[in-house]
Amino acid sequence: MYRIAILAIASLLVVLPAAPARGQSAYVTGVAGAEVSRFSRAGSADIDLGGFNGGEAPLLAVRVGTSLSERWGVELEFARPSAFEGDRRRFGDPVPLVGAGRQPGATDPIPDIVIRPVPVDVRIHLEQRTTTFDALAWIRQRVGSKVDLVYLGGLSLNRTVREVDADFPGLPIVRPGGARLTAYGSGPVAGFEARIAMTEHVHFVPGVRIHGLSGQVSEGWLIRPGVGLGWSF
């Protein structure tokens, strides 16, 4: 996905210098914000992570775009949040513990082998990060001479990396373990923002974007509010 993002942004940057000649305007925006993730399903065919329903993390993004007319335009965004973390403690299915013992009333000097069920205490630590590359179209509504309201929608390509570490404090003979899963997917993205002119070229951009996720790792939503500073050409 990183190669696709770099190639797409580079292609757009090649086109941008010609924009003023066609009566268009191009811009670059840097954004700082947060990611709030909420999942209806977390896990895969190999890892059950029931109980992890999302998290929060800071996020940075860069956007490049251009207008195609007075009201319409297109934009590319690359966004990378920090990994959110979660901890959960669960008791799994009992495992058999083999030991020696005597049945009641037994007189045999040789002890019998008995099996006692012992519940497994599992402590799970999770870290997850979803990096996205978005291709969007937008429509602009002018409000006064310095404020534009912008509505966006498009397609998001995502790369989710999940790391899970498990510890078994009740079973010292079992060593802690972990797993790393990387999955790729796509989904819809929609957003709303205000573009507020501060100078002839600088604009302040508060807004929010919502991503839909569906795939091997999880199903749910990414809600990303943020503020940015943009430079228009």
* 23 φ/ψ sector (left φ>0, alpha ψ -120 to 50, else beta): left
Q: How confident is the model at residue 124 (pLDDT cuts 50, 70, 90)?
A: confident
pLDDT per residue as tens digits for the range 81-103: 999 887 776 665 555 545 444 55
Q: What pLDDT sits at residue 32?
A: 97
Q: What pLDDT sits at residue 178?
A: 73
Domains belonging to the chain, first-starting first, are 2-14+27-94+108-232 (2.40.160.20)
Please give the backbone phi and psi of residue 16, each rounded to the nearest 5 degrees, phi first.
-60, -40
- Spatial CA neighbour of 179 closest among 49, 35, 81, 2: 49
pLDDT per residue as tens digits for the range 26-79: 999 999 999 999 887 555 444 445 556 788 999 999 999 999 998 999 999 999
Neighbours of 151 (CB within 10 A): 13
DSSP helix/strand/coil, 97? strand
Instruction: Tell me what percent of the residues of the chain surpass a pLDDT of 90.
Output: 45
